[in-house]
Amino acid sequence: MFAVKKIREKFPIYKKFPNLVYLDSGATSLKPQPVLDKMNEYYSEYGVNIHRGVYELSFQATDEYDMAREKVARFLNAKTEEIIFTANTTDALNKLALMYSKENIGPGDVVLTSELEHHSSLLPWMKICEEKQAELRYIPLNPEGRITFENFKKVFDDKVKVVALTYVSNVMGYKTPLEEIIPFAHQNGSVVIVDAAQAVQHFKVDVKEMDCDFLAFSGHKMLGPTGVGVLYGKKRYLNQLKPVFYGGDMNQDVYLDRVEIKEIPYCFEAGTPPIAEIIGLGKAIDCLEEIGLENIENHCHGVYLYAMEKLSGIKGLTIYNKNADIPIIAFNIDDVHPHDAATCFDQDNICIRAGHHCAQLVSKWLKCTGTLRASIYLYNDKNDIDKFVISVKETIKLFQKLEGVQ
C-alpha cells in the first residue's frame, strides 16, 4: 500500500494549505521537509565554501558535496566523474550544445530533433545550426503526436551528427522510444543527447543500459531545490570537450599565457557552485529511493487512470493525450482560453499549468493556442482528482452560462 497520507505529511506546504490540490509537478515538484532540513543543516552547521578551505568545516562541506555527486551517479548508474552539476536542465543542454558543436558540427551537418521538445532542448541547437550553417531536422510525429522509431529512421541519414530528443514530452507525457533510437544512431555515427527533465522523477533511468551519450535533468522536478541540475556525459566524450566557462576551481595551473584545466567533471564547474542545493539534491534522491521509484510510478499511474476515467465523457472537454506514459493530462475546455480556465481552477485551490509549457511547437502541432496540463505526482490522491473533476465541470458550466448571456 502506498501511504499518500504519510507522504503528504512530509511536505510542509500542505500544513500551510491543507486544501491545496497541486497538479503542477511537471513545472516543479513540492519539496519535502528532509530536503529543506538538509539544506538548512549546510547553512547552519558547515555553510562554508568547498574545495578551497584547508580547515575542518570546509572539509565537511566538501564531503557532503562529493557525496551528493556519488548519489547522483548511483541514481543514474554512471561514474562519479561523468556527473557535472549545472543550474538546471536548460543550463546543462545549452552548455553541452556549445561545447559539443565547437568541433563536431559544421556546414551541411544535421541535428535531428522533434516538435515535442521543450525550448531548452530545441533552441540551443536551433541557434547553433543557424550559426554553423547546419540543418535542424525534425522527426515527423505520428497522428497521436508521438516520436516513433519508424519515423526516426525515415529522416535519418549519414549527415546526422547529433540526435537531441526529450525522453518524455512535458506537454503530452509520451515516452520517446530511445531503446530503439540510440543503437540505430550509434551504428550510424551519431551521438544522442537526452533531455530527461520529465523522466528521472517518474521511473528508473539507467544511462549505461540506455547507452545514451549525454543526458540532462533538473533537481527541482524531483523533490530537490531549484538552482541545481545535472549533465551526464560518457567519460570518453567529456574528456574530448573543452569548457565554455573559465574561472575559479576549474583550473589546475595558470601561467601568463595559458591555463591547465582540471580533470572531468571539475573543469566544467567554474566558480562557486550551488552547494546547499547540490546537497539538497542528494537528499531528494534519498527520499525518492526510500519510497521507491517503482512504487511512485505505480501510485501515479493509478491516480492517472482514475483521473482519465472521471474526465472521459465530460462534454465540452478535449483531451489531447488519451494514453500518456507518465501521469500528464493535456486538455482544454472547448472555446475557453487555457489561462481563463486555470484562473477558475485557482479559485478552487487547484494549481495546474496553462499555456504552451515552453514547448510552443507542440501547441502549433495540436493547432491550439495552448493547453491545460494536469500533472500528477506522489503526493496526489483520488481525493485531489475528485476536487479537480468538480472544478472542471463547474468551469464548463460557468463558461456555457456566460456564452448564453452574450
Ligand X SMILES: Cc1ncc(COP(=O)(O)O)c(C=O)c1O
Query: Site residues (CB under 6 A) for ligand X?
Result: 88-90, 118, 120-121, 166, 170, 195, 197-198, 218, 358
Distance, in Å, from the CA atom of 123 to the CA atom of 246, rounded to the nearest integer, reads 23
Cβ 217 to ligand X shortest distance, Å? 8
For ligand X, the closer of residues 21 and 197 by Cβ is: 197
- Given a contact cutoff of 8 angstroms between Cβ atoms, the answer to whether 231 and 216 are in contact is yes
Q: Give the three cell numbers for residue 361.
A: 511547437
Cβ 258 to ligand X shortest distance, Å? 33
Residues belonging to the chain: 406
For ligand X, the closer of residues 86 and 332 by Cβ is: 86
Cβ 123 to ligand X shortest distance, Å? 11
For ligand X, the closer of residues 120 and 395 by Cβ is: 120
Among the listed residues 369, 366, 364, the one whose alpha carbon sits nearest the alpha carbon of residue 354: 369
Distance, in Å, from the CA atom of 191 to the CA atom of 368, rounded to the nearest integer, reads 33
Contacts of 132 (CB under 8 A, 6+ apart): 101, 105, 106, 107, 109
How far from 91 is each of 29, 215, 227, 318, CA to CA, in Å?
19, 12, 10, 34
Give bridge partners of residue 260 from the DSSP assignment.
253
Grid look-up 448571456 returns: 405
- Given a contact cutoff of 8 angstroms between Cβ atoms, the answer to whether 175 and 195 are in contact is no
Contacts of 176 (CB under 8 A, 6+ apart): 114, 116, 147, 165, 166, 167, 168, 169
Query: Active site includes 267?
Result: no
For ligand X, the closer of residues 201 and 332 by Cβ is: 201
DSSP state of 174: P
Cβ 158 to ligand X shortest distance, Å? 28
For ligand X, the closer of residues 88 and 380 by Cβ is: 88
Query: Cα Rg for the chain, rounded, in angstroms?
Result: 22
Q: Give the three cell numbers for residue 323.
A: 494514453
Of 129, 267, 344, 358, which is the active-site residue?
Answer: 358
For ligand X, the closer of residues 62 and 170 by Cβ is: 170
Cβ 227 to ligand X shortest distance, Å? 9
Distance, in Å, from the CA atom of 198 to the CA atom of 28, rounded to the nearest integer, reads 10
Cβ 20 to ligand X shortest distance, Å? 20
- Given a contact cutoff of 8 angstroms between Cβ atoms, the answer to whether 244 and 124 are in contact is no
For ligand X, the closer of residues 92 and 134 by Cβ is: 92
Cβ 289 to ligand X shortest distance, Å? 21
Distance, in Å, from the CA atom of 185 to the CA atom of 139, rounded to the nearest integer, reads 13
User: Which residue numbers are catalytic?
Assistant: 358
